[in-house]
Amino acid sequence: MEKIVSRHFGQKNSHRLENYLKDNGYEAARKALTQMTGAQVIDEVKKSNLRGLGGAGFPTGTKWSFIPQANPKPKYLVINADEGEPGTFKDKYILEQDPHALLEGIIITCYAIGSHKAYIYIRGEYIKSLEIVQAAIDEAYKGKYLGKGIMGTGFDIDVVVHPGAGAYICGEETALLESLEGKKGFPRLKPPFPAVVGLFGCPTVINNVETIACVPPIINKGAEWYAKLGNEKNGGNRLFCISGHVVKPGVYELPNGTTLREIIYDHAGGIPNGRKLKAVIPGGISAPILTPDQIDVKMDFDSLKSIGSMAGSGGIIVMDDTTDMVWAAMIAARFFALESCGQCSPCREGSGWVYRNVKRLNEGHARPHDLNNLPGIVNNIGGNTICAFGDAVTMSVGSYVSKFRSEFEAKIQERVCQI
């Protein structure tokens, strides 16, 4: 299988410009800038079926086409490198091992949407990534791939790196914009969407790192080639991050639509020590948990949605039969309670309430009504909040209760863990 985004991973000094140039580096950008119009670039990306790989899976070319070209305000591209979803660590690899692929994607995207300034919002804890990306930007400025009149064309572009300050919610695109503007990371009310009123009130495209890193190969080899790699509505490959109880955890680039079973057993080496699979989160902690009978699902946005979960950020967390699911639910609930931004009431008060409830269940101090109330409380959060965080609490914590209810009941009845 041909690797695309991860093609340079593991090569010595793959983050250096000289090595990137050896592999046709920045030729896609040159092609876009010299042979294509912005509209042609957008068309090509639309045809490639590239979908947002941060988790929402929105068609990328369509998103770009929402930028109102008649708007006299400056337009911005913002790269979401906040990668905070537990179980997800793919963007870190791109940032550290192939930063020039991201920069080339940025150039092409900015050209397509008529922007001359891009921000890369990098998770604050990614100190090494920050340094490597900044070094790559410096190299690119020196080599005239960034700055004024890049690569001998008339196109100007500036790229700025901005470190986050440690809030999961700043991965939500409008909270990210608030944070980038120097404010507290609170998601915005929508509409207006960022394409119309985004950063500093200007039209803005926000894309995930991996999404943008896919753009140069699409321009180089054409939309048809890319679209064929995936399945019907999900073009290309995807980076899957697999962690937890597997023999070979790590980042794997695989075509969209590879089954979860293949990923766990063929690529990640299966469950260690001959244990059995008990549960798996398919797309970061926000995605509803799956049971072993569901792992023949194809790992793409639509297939996972059809079985009531989601592809999310591609973070697969595998749990074997030694896992206490009430404890796992508590870990998830604690994460949401700690990371709720506190802006709207159901999520602010509900996430803490749910966590304390699950914690009590886990510690064997709960009474039957605690468990009986839990699904109702959890359901009252989702759908009633400003951003999708509330939905994540509902879907994630709710799935542990509905799929492993007997374990919760056992904790109440016997006040001991069954495992």
Chain residues binding other proteins by CB under 8 A are 167, 184, 189, 337-346, 348-353, 356-357, 360, 367, 369-370, 373, 377, 380, 383-386
Which of residues 82 and 339 has its CB atom nearest to other proteins in the complex? 339
Which of residues 164 and 314 has its CB atom nearest to other proteins in the complex? 164
Which contiguous run of DSSP H or E holds residue 158? strand 158-163
Which of residues 117 and 360 has its CB atom nearest to other proteins in the complex? 360
The answer to whether the CB of 181 falls within 8 A of the CB of 200 is: yes
CB of 261 to other proteins, least distance (A): 33
CB of 369 to other proteins, least distance (A): 7
Residue 44 burial (CB count, 10 A)? 22
Which of residues 205 and 377 has its CB atom nearest to other proteins in the complex? 377
Residues, the chain: 419
CA atoms of 79 and 197, how far apart (whole Å): 16
CB of 13 to other proteins, least distance (A): 40
In the numeric block, the tokens 């919760």 are attached to: 408
270 by DSSP, 3-state: which?
coil
Question: Which candidate, 215, 96, 110, places its Cα nearest to that of 160?
Answer: 110
CA atoms of 377 and 184, how far apart (whole Å): 27
Which of residues 212 and 377 has its CB atom nearest to other proteins in the complex? 377
Which of residues 91 and 339 has its CB atom nearest to other proteins in the complex? 339
CB of 164 to other proteins, least distance (A): 14
CB of 196 to other proteins, least distance (A): 15
CA atoms of 56 and 138, how far apart (whole Å): 32
CA atoms of 212 and 209, how far apart (whole Å): 5
CB of 365 to other proteins, least distance (A): 10
CA atoms of 339 and 166, how far apart (whole Å): 10
